Amino acid sequence: MSWHAVDAVDRAVDATRRLLFPFEAVRWVKLAALAAGMAGGGAAASHVGASSLGASTAGLVGWATSTSTGVGAGPVGIGRIVGPAAERVAGLDDALLVAAAVGGLVAAFALVTCSVAFRLAFYDALATTEVALWRPFRTRFRQALGLSAVVTAGAVVAAIPAAAFAVVAADSAVSGAAGVEVGGVSGASEVAFVALGVTAGGVALIGTVGSRLTLELVAPAMVARDVGVLAGWRTVWASLRESLSDVAVYLAVHAVVAASAGIVRAVAVASVGGVVAAVGLVVLVLAAVPLGGVAALVETTAGAIVLATVLLCAVAAVAVLTLPVLIVARTYLTAYEVSTLAGLAPGLAPLAPTLVASDDSEPADSGPV
């Protein structure tokens, strides 16, 4: 039996190679901008369900336990930081707090929307092999708004049972620390507590998977068909419901591919960072000689300027030197998602025929519609 998600691993290699080479500096710079824009918020949005469950539970349990018992060891010690901060926040004007909260939500939504718009622009590059920034960003922004709204709504829905579970868990921790029988805020039974936890985890899992499928499979179809998110889901779901096993394999293989790409990027950053750090250390030692010693780097204004300059140059050097790895990894991961969609739903993948291997059995089906 042929798994489209497995076959797409090799097809994505061909698509990546044909899009990136022969090398063109302008093309690579534009792809770097797209990759950086995609990293601004889209990836975080696709996994917000699972992360919010763990973070909210650990945070609330730790805060409640530490503030009630005074214990500061381990994760529970977060209360020593959160407690005073919460008291300061409580002293602020309510209108100011509401304005700050609304402003933060709007800013986060805008960041996610821009990130999704860059993702759609990347799909346009795969569909046409012409890499552009502003034109596809502007053209796809309305679709990005719809995608961001769906992903945000899914995150909110997933966060409701997670928040409820976190509140009950926090109250149980407080009650247990005080020597009271653990039962939750309203004396809920342990069975109900476990059921609430399972429900929160299940909803978070469904929300995470739904967000990922929306961003990774529905979004390319929206670009290929030039439709909204709901129409894109209807079109893709007609093919996905007939091959749910392929979807499960895709999620598993994608996890391996994404983890491998992350490891490659981490190794590149660590290797380049080590070399840059060594060079920077030599530069600092040489610069410290005329200043009167290493201590002068932090004790004098000139030394502080030199230290800050070297640190900024080191960070910039690591970013620039590892940028090619980021471009290749991001291009391959995106090409893998589109190639999988080309196998699951022929005709819905924005993948130019010139990016498909000539020995592919059905090159025409992978082209954009």
Separation between Cα atoms, residue 153 and residue 133, nearest integer Å: 28
Largest separation between any pair of C-alpha atoms in the chain: 74
Q: Is the pTM of this model over 0.85?
A: no
Predicted local confidence at residue 92, as pLDDT: 59
Q: Which residue type sits at 220? A: P
Which one, of 210, 218, 224, lies nearest residue 239 by Cα?
A: 218
**Whole-number pLDDT of residue 56:** 40
- Return d(Cα 16, Cα 27) in angstroms, integer: 13
Query: Which amino acid does the sequence have at 77?
Result: G
Q: Which long-range contacts (CB under 8 A, 24 or more apart) does 322-329 make?
A: 322/265, 322/268, 322/269, 322/272, 323/32, 324/28, 325/264, 325/265, 325/268, 326/32, 326/35, 326/36, 326/265, 327/20, 327/28, 327/31, 327/32, 327/35, 328/16, 328/20, 329/261, 329/264, 329/265
User: Do residues 334 and 122 lie in contact, with contact meaning Cβ atoms separated by under 8 Å?
Assistant: yes
Angle between helices 4-20 and 25-38 (to 10 degrees): 130
As a three-state string, the secondary structure of 137-184 is HHHCHHHHHHHHHHHHHHHHHHHHHHHHHHHHHHHHHHHHHCCCCCCC
Q: Which tens digits make up the pLDDT trace of 119-159?
A: 999 999 999 999 999 999 999 999 999 999 988 887 788 77
pLDDT of 310 reads 92
Q: How far is CA 54 from CA 13, 61, 263, 315, in A?
A: 35, 11, 23, 31
Whole-number Å distance between alpha carbons of 230 and 177: 48
Task: Determine the pLDDT at residue 11.
Answer: 92
Q: How many CB atoms lie within 10 A of CB 130?
A: 12
**Given this model, what pLDDT does residue 2 score?**
63
Query: How far lies 147's CA from each of 194, 211, 256, 302, 324, in Å?
Result: 33, 9, 25, 50, 29
Burial track 280-293 (b if 16+ CB lie within 10 A, e otherwise): beeebeebbeeeee
pLDDT value of position 58: 40
Look at residue 87 in the predicted model and tell me its pLDDT: 53
Q: Which helix (H) or strand (E) holds 18?
A: helix 4-20
Return averaged pLDDT per consecutive 10 residues of the chain, 369 residues in all. Answer: 82 93 92 86 44 40 42 44 52 75 87 92 93 92 92 80 75 54 50 79 85 92 92 90 87 93 94 94 88 80 88 94 93 94 88 74 41
